[in-house]
Amino acid sequence: MSSGSQTEPPVAAVSPSVSADHPGITELFGVLACGELAAFYRLTSEALMAPGIRGRVAMASMAAAEMSHFEILQEELQRREVDVYGLVSAYEAVLDRYHASTVPSTWEESLVKVYVGDGLAADFYLEMAGTLPAEAEAVVRAVMSETGHSDFAVTAIRDAVTADPNLKSPLTLWGRRLLGEAITQTQYVLAGQDDLTELLFSVETDLNGIAGFFDSIQERHGRRMADMGLA
């Protein structure tokens, strides 16, 4: 996930509490792989919205990084003798719902989604990474690695808002919508996949912990919005 420099360490690192063959790890890799493919196609498509070559190249670079991350996951799933495409297809619907409900209508909306949308995903997966055995944790962190590719979005949005202050309010509302949709779809996945839920509960052992987990995600989202001058 090409999430730029906005990712942070998990709220609380813990000692790995699941085994290397826990089925939730395979499911986690499947969700991640599906997300990387969806992001690749999204970025390739939205690059056409860019007003100039610089934006198109930046989007293309991020798309290339997403495909590289997919290949890391594909290799790991094949090593686990998993039907990669069958597993990925099981999560297509939920990713399709998220992207269908957050289709940007302008280049600026696309940039906000690049920066905060990918960051929200990174928050969730890196929070879980600390519960995994070392090898699986390394895979997740490699896929969530910070490429810096989306940093250009921060400057571009700040410049756009400076040039046209009327953009600030709708883009701020757009950012809130991205947050709400991301949390809704995350909860949907967890409700339907017990193995993934068990992984999350291995970090946060009660309902208060789960609530705190989502509160932390919202707090980081607010800081990203502030990065772009949309606080």
Chain segment 139-184, per-residue pLDDT in tens: 998 888 765 667 888 999 999 999 999 999 999 999 999 999 888 8
Q: How far is residue 73's CA from residue 140's CA, in Å, rounded to a whole number?
A: 9
Residue written as token pair 């709400």: 180
pLDDT at 209: 56
Neighbouring residues of 98: CB distance < 8 A, sequence distance ≥ 6:
181, 182, 185
Does 208 or 195 have the greater pLDDT score?
195
Q: d(Cα 89, Cα 106) in Å, to the nearest integer?
A: 29
Instruction: Kindly report which listed range (3-12, 102-111, 187-196) carries the lowest average pLDDT score.
Output: 3-12
pTM over 0.75: yes
**pLDDT given for residue 202 in this prediction:** 61
**Residue 210 pLDDT grade (very low, low, confident, very high; cuts 50, 70, 90):** low
CA dist 122 and 104 (Å) reads: 20
* Distance from C-alpha of 24 to C-alpha of 197, rounded to nearest angstrom: 8
The average pLDDT across 99-107 equals 91
User: How many residues are recorded in the chain?
Assistant: 231
13: left (phi over 0), alpha (psi -120 to 50) or beta: beta
Helices (H), 47-167: 53-79, 84-89, 92-101, 107-112, 118-129, 134-143, 151-163
Query: Quick check: 18 and 133 in contact, CB under 8 A?
Result: yes
Q: What pLDDT does 14 receive?
A: 45
Domains of the chain: 23-227 (1.20.1260.10)
More confident residue, 213 or 161: 161
Reported confidence tier of residue 225, pLDDT bands at 50, 70, 90: very high
List, as one string, the DSSP characters of 38-67: HHHHHHHHHGGG-SSHHHHHHHHHHHHHHH
- Could you tell me which of 145, 170, 157 has the C-alpha nearest to residue 62? 145
